[in-house]
Amino acid sequence: MISEAASNKIRTMRVMLLFSIILMGIKFAAYFLTNSNAVLSDALESIINVTAGAFALYSVYFASKPRDADHPYGHGKIENISAGFEGALIFFAGISIIAKAVYDLYYPNNILYLDFGIIISSFAGICNFFMGYFLIKKGKKYDSMLMIADGKHLISDTISSIGLIAGLALMFFTKIYWIDNLLAMLFGGVILKTGYQLIKEALTGLLDEADTEKLNQIIKIFNNSRSTKWIDIHNLRVLKHGTLLHVDCHVTLPWFLSLEEAHKEVKEMEKIIIKNMGDEVEFFIHADPCKPTSCPICNEPNCNQRQKPFLKKLEWDFKNLLPNLSHGLDPLP
């Protein structure tokens, strides 16, 4: 059963794909009118937008499928693959644009109807900006790296369109047409950079690089909501599969708690994180019994087994929650 959030993401990507197809037609119409390489570079990138948009739509659908026996962590990693695929296409488009611009420096084209090119490119740039802004906003709402990547790509298109319009206007008034190829090479370089960044971000997700932002968010929640029975937390890790977060950690609890009481504390930790971060969070919490070395940082008031006096509350942070080490007051190695 697909969730409401997933259905909204699919609808959003479907609408974005339709707009991308329309804009692609408009941009190629501008190229056939003007015969400008700079306009062609913008039009060629729109092919990438459509191709990547179609793959992204399927990826969002596939990522929304529930976990199964073959995919126990869900299907969310396809969003990283899709973002990487889009980045590779963009990178290839950048190389092609630069190569054609260099060729046309030696074998120039006749450039026509620059006024129409300016009007059409302005319209396409405005559409790209609002589509990109909308996608980034929705991507942050649904915590979708793919939607945010698509939105950033469209915003970068808008920036390129501004430069394109300025260049077309300059050619229109000065009649210096080699500027066209210079602009195309410049836009090709910008496109190469965008593609590289998307590939890098996709690989980061596929290799499960630590998500510093999510980790700090979880640490802050634990600090603000901590129970006196949560003596220590360590070995904290976060894995992201699409919009689903998998959180692993060890929590040190009073050794004399019953299994039922320890389970209750673990469930309370889960509830607090889900309340603050949404229901697409899965916990694997391992409970450890406390030791005498834990007494100096334990301020549990109902402990009648204490062997050392409480000295100081340990503030949890990025440094001491990630290592697989139970804590006392001694500094971490």
Q: Where are the domains of the chain?
A: 4-206, 212-321
Confidence of residue 76 (pLDDT cuts 50, 70, 90): low
Kindly give the residue spans of alpha helices, DSSP state H, lying in the chain: 4-34, 37-63, 78-106, 114-142, 145-174, 179-206, 212-225, 259-277, 318-321
With 90 as the cut, is the pLDDT of residue 260 above it?
A: yes
CATH architecture of 4-206: Up-down Bundle (1.20)
- Structure confidence at residue 213 as a pLDDT band (50, 70, 90): confident
Give exposure, 244-276, as e/b (b: 16+ Cβ within 10 Å). bbbbebbbbbbeebeeeebeebbeebeebbeee
pTM, rounded to two decimals = 0.58
Residue 120 has pLDDT above 90, yes or no: no
- Residue 71's pLDDT band (cuts 50, 70, 90): low
Q: Report the C-alpha gap between 247 and 7 in whole angstroms.
A: 25
Q: What is the DSSP string of 155-193?
A: HHHHHHHHHHHHHHHHHHHH--TTHHHHHHHHHHHHHHH
Quote the pLDDT of residue 253. 92
- The average pLDDT across 21-32 equals 86
What is the pLDDT, as a whole number, of residue 332?
A: 41
Instruction: Look up residue 290 and give its DSSP letter.
Output: -
pLDDT at 329 over 60: no
Asked whether the domain spanning 212-321 has the same topology as the one spanning 4-206, the reply is: no
Give the percent of the chain with pLDDT over 90: 2
Summary mean pLDDT of the chain:
79
CATH 3.40.50.150 holds for 212-321: no
Give the integer Cα–Cα distance in Å for 103 and 311: 74
